Amino acid sequence: MSSFFNCIKFSDKKGDGGKSDFPPSPFFLRGQIAIIRTMLELLFLPVLFFSVIVHEVAHGYAALRLGDDTALHLGRLTLNPGPHIDPVGTILLPLFLFITNAGFLIGWAKPVPVNPYNFVNPRQDFAKVGAAGPLSNVALAILSAMMLTILNLSGLMRSFSLVAGLLQYSVFINILLAIFNLIPIPPLDGSRILSAMLPAETAYKYDRMMRFGPFLTLIIIWMFWPFIFTIVRTIEGAILTVALSI
């Protein structure tokens, strides 16, 4: 988002062409930047919502291709936010992070229902459905980076710095969603992929961890968030470096 703030200039010139000897007040600058950051974070919310909705719709479409039409019949194969809203993940958590000035926004949509018994190869196909979500976020991150490249090559980066900031956030949040969901803890997508690789008896015991999933996920966030954040920022930096150096 630095390109967005780099475009903000404060002038204290007088109408007669004279120039004030006093720079803008630090408190004024701080207040203006705080307001701009707040407005920008509000604009981040639609990007976050779109990203988590695409993630869930990808699960549904993958399931449909593999023989399960549960999500289709329940009206979940749509980008309309309504059917995907989760009270906690889509509303309360992002709002809490915004109000507490956490420095980032993240959330989730209501999980798309999948019936693995409709698959020809339930374990393997369920793993493919699980992988579809993170892959959709990787695709969105790459698409956002490509759009940044187009802005940069066309010389419109400064004129559309707000759009550039949103695209940069899209790269970040989609990488975060992809990596976090690949953690092999039920009910995250990584657990479905790992379960398909385990022997049937071991997979059964592993899947029973589902009831402890939310608790384990909170522990992972609490203990390893700085590590996860560093990985995400590193990948984001590499993608943006490539995107803006073309």
User: Exposed, middle or buried, 155 (CB in 10 Å: 0-12/13-18/19+)?
Assistant: exposed
> In terms of Cα–Cα distance, which of 145, 147, 221 is closest to 179?
221
Q: Which residues are catalytic?
A: 56
Dihedrals phi, psi of 19, to nearest 5 degrees: -125, 130
Dihedrals phi, psi of 183, to nearest 5 degrees: -65, 125
Using alpha carbons only, give the angle 151, 158, 238 rounded to the nearest 5 degrees.
55
> In terms of Cα–Cα distance, which of 120, 117, 175, 118 is closest to 144?
175
Other beta carbons within 10 Å of 230: 10
Annotate 201-214 with DSSP letters as a single string. HHHHHHHGGGGGHH
Can you tell me which residue has the tokens 């695209």?
167
